[in-house]
Amino acid sequence: MVIKARMGLKNTLDWARNEWGIFRKGGEMGWNQRAQWVSQWVPFGLRTVGWAGVSLTLGPLSQGRASTWSARKWSASSAKGLRIDIHALGQENVPEGGFVYTSNHESLVDILVLGAALPGDFKWAAKRSVLNVPFLGWHLRLAGHVPVDRNKGKDAALAVMAAFQSVLRRDKPLLVFPEGTRTADGKLKSFKNGAFQAAVSTGKPVVPVAIHGTYTLMSRDAVDTGTSETREDRLVTVQIGKPLYPNVELAEEDAVVDLRDRTRAAVVEMLRALNS
């Protein structure tokens, strides 16, 4: 148990150093900004422990339903605690059964926003380091979310693909950030093929998602979500697009590229509309 606790602490610190701006900008922060950080993230941590505790306790007794409920409550309560105002559009576009949500990735808080806005018991493709974080990672593992190892070679990529396909064949939605990492400049990056390969190989649709507002709220180097109280500054919009289906007339490799490019074009168009 001591070894596991130490491993959990190391993974948590490694994840925090890579993901949170405070570990890159800590030396530049004044006491007011440090106090702001504490006021936002200490309650967030307590909420994470609390809702993860519900998931870990009741999830196994409810065939996972309590974990799904806890995740949605955690997302909504955490977003509210960070004073994020979420406006979701297009929920009527979500199909039944298995499909792939593909969203742009603007901020660390995207998963909170999407967890509160997207319908369904979706499984999140998360970095393996996140799944090793105490409480949060324990919940993610219990709930069947998919660990992703970046730059770990062909075997790791094949394992991720098999996990993606397994989720879809069980008729569960899968949430993927096809850019791979958060944007550093607010611009949409190129999409990787993995999610689209899984969709094509299982014959499942892709549902494009555009998230707008989290980058200005908390960019990659920001340490918190700021102090502004205006609704305009704290509004985040999630636009869910219509499902896009693989072109069965194309060879598999071409169908993957076609679906990827159509999906990115749909996200670009939705972001353009949200920015206008």
CA distance 262 to 245: 10
User: Of 37, 21, 136, 40, whose CA–CA distance to 84 is shortest?
Assistant: 40
> For the residues 100-107, what does the mean pLDDT come to?
97
Could you tell me which residue, 272 or 11, shows the higher pLDDT? 272
The kind and range of the H/E element at 160 are helix 154-169
| Res 222 pLDDT > 60 | yes
Q: pLDDT-derived band of residue 16, with 50, 70 and 90 as boundaries?
A: low
pLDDT at 129 over 90: no
Which one, of 76, 124, 79, lies nearest residue 101 by Cα? 124
CATH (domain of 213): 3.40.1130
- Model confidence at 202: pLDDT above 50: yes
| Predicted local confidence at residue 3, as pLDDT | 37
Looking at the predicted structure, is the pLDDT value of residue 276 above 90?
no
Domain membership of residue 86 as a residue range: 2-275
With a cut of 60, say whether residue 22 has pLDDT above it. Answer: no
When divided into structural domains, the chain yields a total of 1
